[in-house]
């Protein structure tokens, strides 16, 4: 594990990004993320991938500043497709107020795209996944189920309106949610991506040496997800996620296999999971609404008993 007096957030808790102090007023947030296409539309793919990469900076409470493209692309595919991917990423970064200032491309059999992002935050104001306290309320800012929807798309069973809604959700920046939580002051945050809701919550409670109670009925879910689950549209990563949280999760006896899979579904560009003091909950909800954040779901609480364990009820 890397240790340095100016490394404010490193790898010790598996956080979303690293934070390095430059001086008393400035720290940089550094992160990188990229993945294979989750939609057949190159522009949409670029937009979603960029939003996903920028999300790590937002989860830390920072402002994206500059970014580099990270690209793998088959040399035998039409270069116009790559142009559409990069245009999607450029437009999303521009929406975030972040400059794409270069990048690197390699010949790769399977397309891949994302960003390496540098953001800014004031030292001491960064939000990590390790500050949650008993009595905090857990708030989620996007619906889950994107992995199930995109897997159903690959299987040819996702209805077009369902996919359209999911893509719009994935392409939505977490900018407003991040700015809202910074105005309020919260204890911890993480964004929900590949490890699924349960995997990222596991990192939060372990890093915070606390427990959590969450309710499936309180979870915001994308339209069409339950039908797709019943038809077997489950990513391989979702099964791996469920296995990885088995040692830290107490599942309610009445929960179905589909409900457990949903809670572990591998997400792309998901929302922020915010741990806010109970006394500030109403203020956070109001600030999220004022920032145009459509999903403001209260999904559980942070507990003092059984540190590192998560109890899931119907």
Q: Domain 136-313 - what CATH class?
A: alpha beta
Helix axes 160-171, 146-154, angle to 10 degrees: 130
| Tens-place pLDDT, residues 261-282 | 999 999 999 999 999 999 999 9
Q: What residue ranges of the chain have pLDDT lower than 50? A: none
Say if CB 305 and CB 232 are below 8 A apart: no
What is the rounded distance in angstroms from the CA atom of residue 142 to the CA atom of residue 178? 12
Are 147 and 111 contacting, i.e. CB atoms less than 8 angstroms apart?
Answer: no
- Can you tell me whether residue 212 is helix, strand or coil? strand
Domain spanning 7-121: CATH 3.30.360.10: no
Residue 99: what are its φ and ψ, rounded to 5°?
-90, 125
Supply φ then ψ for residue 42, to 5 degrees.
-60, -40
pLDDT at 305: 84
Q: CA 176, CA 83: separation in Å to the nearest integer?
A: 28
pTM for the complete prediction?
0.96
Q: Is the CB of residue 181 less than 8 Å from the CB of residue 274? A: yes
Nearest partner of 271 among 64, 18, 52, 77, judged by Cα? 52
Alpha-helical regions (H) of the chain: 42-59, 79-95, 146-154, 160-171, 175-184, 196-208, 225-230, 236-244, 257-264, 281-290
Sequence spans of domains, the chain: 7-121, 136-313
Q: Nearest CA to 60 among 105, 113, 106, 125? A: 125
For 109-128, how does the pLDDT look when each residue is reduced to its tens digit (9 = 90+)?
A: 999 999 999 999 999 999 99
């Amino acid at each position: 594990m890397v240790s340095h007096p100016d490394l404010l957030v490193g790898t010790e808790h598996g956080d979303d990004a690293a934070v390095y102090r430059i001086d008393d007023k400035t720290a940089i947030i550094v992160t990188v993320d990229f993945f294979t296409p989750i939609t057949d539309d190159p522009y949409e793919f670029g937009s979603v991938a960029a939003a996903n990469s920028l999300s790590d900076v937002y989860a830390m409470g920072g402002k994206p500043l500059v970014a580099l493209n990270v690209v793998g692309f088959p040399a035998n595919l039409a270069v116009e497709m790559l142009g559409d991917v990069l245009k999607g990423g450029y437009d999303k970064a521009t929406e975030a107020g972040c400059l794409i200032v270069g990048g690197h491309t390699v010949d790769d059999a399977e397309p891949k795209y994302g960003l390496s992002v540098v953001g800014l935050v004031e030292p001491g104001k960064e939000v990590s996944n390790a500050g949650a306290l008993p009595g905090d309320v857990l708030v989620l800012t996007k619906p889950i189920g994107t992995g199930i929807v995109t897997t159903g798309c690959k299987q040819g069973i996702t209805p077009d309106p369902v996919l359209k809604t999911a893509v719009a959700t994935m392409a939505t920046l977490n900018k407003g949610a991040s700015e809202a939580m910074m105005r309020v002051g919260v204890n911890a945050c993480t964004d929900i991506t590949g490890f699924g809701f349960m995997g990222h919550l596991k990192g939060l409670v372990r890093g915070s040496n606390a427990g959590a109670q969450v309710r499936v009925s309180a979870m915001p879910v994308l339209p069409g997800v339950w039908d797709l689950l019943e038809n077997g549209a489950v990513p391989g990563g979702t099964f791996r996620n469920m296995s990885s949280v088995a040692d830290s999760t107490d599942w309610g006896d009445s929960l179905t296999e589909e409900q457990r899979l949903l809670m572990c579904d591998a997400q792309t560009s998901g929302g922020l999971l915010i741990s806010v003091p109970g006394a500030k909950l109403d203020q956070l909800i109001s600030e999220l609404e004022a920032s145009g954040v459509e999903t403001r779901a209260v999904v559980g609480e942070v507990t003092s008993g059984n540190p590192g364990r998560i109890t899931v009820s119907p």
